[in-house]
Amino acid sequence: MAVLLAAGGGMYAAVGGDDGGKNPTASPETTTPSHPKTQDRTPEPTTGDGDNTGGRGSGESDPNDQRRAGEAKVLYQKPAPEVSKSNLEVPGFWAMKGYVVKAVENKIIAYKDEGGSKWTLTLPKAVCAAPTSTTDGKVVVAYEGHGRDSCSQLTLIDLNKGAKLWDHSAPETDAMGGGYTNVGMAQSGNLVGMAWFGGSAVIKVNDGKEVSPEKPSAGCSIDGYAGGKVLLRAYSCTNGTAKLQQLTPSGSIKWTYTIRKGFKVSNIFSSSPAVVALIDQDRRSGGILALSDQGKERSTLALGKQSYQPECGTDIFGTNMGNCEGVAGSADTFYLPTEMTQDHGLGSTSEIHAFDLTTGKRKWAVKVAERLLLPLNMDGKNLIAYEKPSYTAPGQIVRIGPDGGKPKPLLRLPQATRKAERDFYSATHTYRNGNFYIATNRITGTDTTPENLLMAFGR
Domain CATH for 104: 2.130.10.10
The percent of residues above 70 in pLDDT, for the chain, comes to: 85
Q: Is 210's pLDDT higher than 50? A: yes
Give the domain range for residue 222.
3-458
Give how many domains the chain has, as a whole number.
1
346 vs 418, residue with greater confidence: 418
Task: Measure the CA–CA gap between 172 and 73, rounded to whole angstroms.
Answer: 48
* Model confidence, pTM: 0.88
Cα dist from 441 to 129, 230, 312, 338, 454, whole Å: 11, 24, 12, 23, 10
Residue 108, pLDDT score: 98
Residue range 52-76: average pLDDT? 73
- In the structure, what pLDDT confidence band is assigned to residue 446 with cuts at 50, 70 and 90? confident
Burial class (CB in 10 A: 0-12, 13-18, 19+), 146: exposed
Q: Is 415's pLDDT higher than 70? A: yes
Number of helices (H), then strands (E), in the chain? 1, 38
Q: Taking every pair of C-alpha atoms in the chain, what is the biggest distance, in angstroms? A: 64
- Give the angle subtended at the CA of 374 by the CAs of 373 and 375, to the nearest 5°: 130
Residue range 228-251: average pLDDT? 96
Residue range 174-195: average pLDDT? 86
